[in-house]
Chain A
């Protein structure tokens, strides 16, 4: 008889709170935290895409987010860093929903892959064999954090689908190109991110096509974005149009903007400070003025899953 040892983050199926209940609870907690009572929280104009394949998704029991308090949907979809649509956190929810088309959408697989080509995003998602939901911590390099239920599929499935050639060492990802928006953001080109191939194949690396069981809103990176919960949020490139397998380490956008402050790895690490602020603690979004602070965990609490990727590396140098 095979005895299955549950992983340390697993909780029993019977202990799982149905989604509708935790959403209610969190909405109430959110209002309570604000201490502002009766008025319903504001649902902002987050234009939601037409149904994407497989939503709402079944929850992956390995990533139920036991012990985590999910950030209210209203905050996840109205407090965004998406500089192509403005540098204020409140800009993207407005600016990304003024006729920006994320449907139809084409994703290109390129570089050292045996299966290159261009795919319509819906067809590509269908090829990934179903959508699942995972609750992940999300830690921004600006020292704030959320907990988000993402819907999507493991990045590993996409890597396997692309079938990288033996020489491929990195996966370089590019966001949509819009000269005006990229200039306004100060990027000098489309947003760029990258992962080492073994990072891309890690079980945590995820491509999100939805949040909270709904298609992902434009301001959160429609129609598909990267989620790497052990890294700072800026690694999670939004609205991906191209995935290229390369031999050289990609030079990501934030390295281009300030290479002394932002690196290629961007692993969450409470012992390596940002030059201007500490990374030892984080402000919990929705936590109010006095109760929203907690210690930051090594690799954002995912040490067990990812620490082996960086064995023997100097994390102070490779920040």
Chain B
């Protein structure tokens, strides 16, 4: 086993990768970066939304990587962590939503503003991620049955474009980061579909991760 494979198989390593972006905002706040301190809430809101989008794109790219490169051991190693990455995307989205709630200053404005398509799509994304997180436990997989569980978890293919739409509207002008986060995963998914059409027998059936 190469060191890369050992590293990416390691649960501890993946945990560190996932937790670090959550600690990152401490850095500009500690060194008193005036641009961040000017509106810290906005900064935190955008930062956690950004991390949630990256993790959502990351978890979606794991299965296509395995299908497209079945002999690439790092892709296989990474696929051990699908549940962890997926649940952490939900967790960052939850923190993002909590900051949005603070940003809106409470329930009354939260509920009037949620009607705007930009915020509504963000909320829908969150609700889908919530459903997927709740059904991510092993006993939920058993209780629902594999097929039904898989169908529910296909909702992630709805959540991702919604998240991209939401992120694209989050700034005054179109933020280019949306493209480098979501275009690669779209390309991977497209390549995977083509691959599975061409060689249906060779394609492994994506099974729920037991991580």
A277-B113, A278-B112 known; A75 vs B40 contact (CB < 8 Å): no
Question: A288: which of B40, B119, B169 is its contact (CB, 8 Å)?
Answer: B40
Q: Is the CB of B102 within 8 A of A278?
A: no
* Interface positions of A from 40 to 99, Cβ below 8 Å from B: 41-42, 44, 74-75, 78-79, 83, 87-90, 93
Please state if A79 and B39 are interface contacts (CB–CB under 8 Å): yes
Closest A-chain residue to B28, C-beta based?
A: A90
* A79-B39, A278-B109 known; A283 vs B32 contact (CB < 8 Å): no
Q: Given A34-B32, A144-B42, A283-B42 in contact, is the A276-B118 Cβ separation under 8 Å?
A: yes
CB distance from A262 to the nearest CB of B (A): 9
Q: Does B105 contact A (CB under 8 A)?
A: yes
CB <8 Å contact, B105 and A293: yes
A286 touching B37, Cβ below 8 Å:
yes
Residues of the B chain whose Cβ atoms lie less than 8 Å from the Cβ of A278: 104, 109, 112-113
B residues near A34, Cβ cutoff 8 Å:
32, 37
Interface hub of B34, B112, B113, B173 (most chain A Cβ within 10 A): B34
B41 at the interface (CB under 8 A from A): yes
**Known A87-B173, A276-B169, A278-B109: A285·B39 in contact at CB below 8 Å:** yes
Check if A276 sits within 8 Å of B116, measured CB to CB.
yes
| Interface residue SS majority, chain B | helix
Prevailing SS type, chain A contact patch: loop
- Hey, which chain B residues are within 8 Å of A144, CB to CB? 38-39, 42
Across the interface, A79 reaches (CB within 8 A) one of B35, B104, B113, B117, namely B35
* Residues of the A chain whose Cβ atoms lie less than 8 Å from the Cβ of B118: 275-277
Check: B103 CB closer than 8 A to any chain A CB: yes
Cβ–Cβ < 8 Å partners of A186 in chain B: 173
Say if the beta carbon of B142 comes within 8 Å of chain A: no
Q: Which of A91-144 contact B (CB under 8 A)?
A: 93, 141-142, 144
Q: Which residues of A contact B32 (CB under 8 A)?
A: 34, 36, 39, 41-42
**Residue ID in chain A nearest B169 by CB atoms:** A276
Provide the B103-123 mask, 1 if CB < 8 A to any CB of A, else 0: 111000100110011110000
- Which residues of A have CB within 8 Å of B18? none
B127 at the interface (CB under 8 A from A): no
